[in-house]
Amino acid sequence: MLVTVLVGSLLLQGVSGALAFDRSWELTGDGTKIAPHRGVDAVWIDNGRAIRRDVSLADGTIEFDVELKSHRSFVYLQFRMESDTEFEEFYFRPHKTGLPDAVQYNPVWRGDSFWQLWHGPDAVASPKFQFGRWTRVRLELQGQRGALFLDNGAKPVLVMNLARPTRTGYLALRSFNPDPSLPPGDVAARFANVVVRPGVVSYDFGAPTPAPVHEPGSILRWQVSPAFKGSREPLTQLPSDILTTRAQWPVYPVERSGVVAIGRFMDRPRPDGAAIARLVIRSSGSRLQRLHLGYSDYVTVFVNGAPIFAGDAHYSFDQPRQEGLIARSQAMLWLPLRDGENEVLLAVVDFFGGWALTGRLEPSDGGVLVPPP
């Protein structure tokens, strides 16, 4: 069933309809330009961005044509942009045509990408791309859901549960090309025929997506320290000046997926940002307590002051190849608990792709998580 939704006049401010390729576009990146292609005006982008700050859209529809190359590249639509560092986006991985992550949804906070945290049926899709021609792209937005269509298909290739609150914002087109093999003067992507229709939604999203049911023992709130500059090497001790403030550390909730996105709440020091997450587990007697743990990118785990585990799950394109996707299957730890309350500290360091933790205590082991203050 197709419906048309017209949203209130507040969302209809700003430009709408076809967006001419003129000086209204803010172009960044060497070689980014507006020039004819296949008989129409287009923006050519290799490593850069084309921004339309006069667009103001929360719910509504964005359409455009894009020509992709088959080599390794990343081609984006960034939308609901509150600033150049706070927005939603999806992007194509043309070199992964037909593979499960050919399309990727990603929220951006504080200028950081969090793609390693968003995977699964509402965040990635596997369309087969066509190269050397225009592909029509349509994104429809309603609240915290988005539907992505290719080539005027009747069914979306991806229906996204958006992580950021619904906000009115501008848009940008972007391309990132890490492959230097293109011929001189060529670019990874060209965009044309951009149309914006604030407040117009034709796709029937149906009932709201129900809240997720988390597994027993899932850790849904994490107490986390302030950020500090970290190291990718395993730690043997934690900074004392950070630990002395533990009583004041704030508590952060997890996302729908059960992951706490640390970088959503604080800036990440460059290049390697670190923070310490704290758990208190009460045990009646000495026991081993299993903790199913996911992390991004590096973690060192301390129990009652002693390091017991260090892990490396950072993304690496090659040598060695590592996907970097966060999941509780990344590690299972046997925490050595003593009688009474036990402090578990997890120093998590991130370089790229999402700064986060996710965990679940095995209920049958008997340890009880003390709620954070």
2-203 fold: Jelly Rolls (2.60.120)
pLDDT at 258: 97
Grouping H, G, I as helix, E, B as strand and the rest as coil, residue 328 is helix
Contact assessment for residue 192 and residue 64, using Cβ atoms and an 8 Å cutoff: yes
Q: Assess whether pLDDT exceeds 60 at residue 298.
A: yes
pLDDT at 13: 53
Contact assessment for residue 41 and residue 192, using Cβ atoms and an 8 Å cutoff: yes
- The pLDDT tens digits of the residues spanning 134-155 come to 999 999 999 999 999 999 999 9
Q: Assess whether pLDDT exceeds 70 at residue 9.
A: no
Give the span between the Cα atoms of 80 and 106, in whole angstroms.
12
Contact assessment for residue 367 and residue 281, using Cβ atoms and an 8 Å cutoff: yes
Give the span between the Cα atoms of 114 and 118, in whole angstroms.
7
Q: Assess whether pLDDT exceeds 90 at residue 319.
A: no
- The pLDDT tens digits of the residues spanning 15-72 come to 899 999 999 999 999 999 999 999 999 999 999 999 999 999 999 999 999 999 999 9
Q: What is the rounded average pLDDT for all residues in the chain? A: 94
Name the phi and psi angles at 341, rounded to 5.
Answer: -90, 140
First to last CA, the chain: 47
- The pLDDT tens digits of the residues spanning 78-112 come to 999 999 999 999 999 999 999 999 999 999 999 99
Q: Assess whether pLDDT exceeds 70 at residue 1.
A: no
Burial of 280 (0-12, 13-18, 19+ CB in 10 A): middle
Q: How far is CA 304 from CA 276, 281, 345, in A?
A: 14, 11, 8
Q: Assess whether pLDDT exceeds 80 at residue 235.
A: yes
Percent of the chain residues topping a pLDDT of 90: 89
Contact assessment for residue 351 and residue 269, using Cβ atoms and an 8 Å cutoff: no
Domain ranges of the chain: 2-203, 221-370
Grouping H, G, I as helix, E, B as strand and the rest as coil, residue 264 is helix
DSSP 266-300: SPPPSS-EEEEEEEEEEESSSEEEEEEEEEESEEE
pLDDT at 185: 86
Q: Which pair of tokens denotes residue 126?
A: 């596997």
Measuring CA to CA, which residue among 176, 194, 191, 195 is closest to residue 34?
Answer: 191
CATH class as words, domain 221-370: mainly beta
Give the span between the Cα atoms of 294 and 259, in whole angstroms.
8
Average pLDDT on 224-252 reads: 95
Strand 124-125 relative to strand 112-113: parallel, antiparallel, unpaired? Answer: unpaired
- The pLDDT tens digits of the residues spanning 248-287 come to 999 999 999 999 999 999 999 999 999 999 999 999 999 9
In terms of pTM, does the model score above 0.85? yes
- Same-fold call for 2-203 versus 221-370: yes
- The pLDDT tens digits of the residues spanning 324-351 come to 999 999 999 999 999 999 999 999 999 9
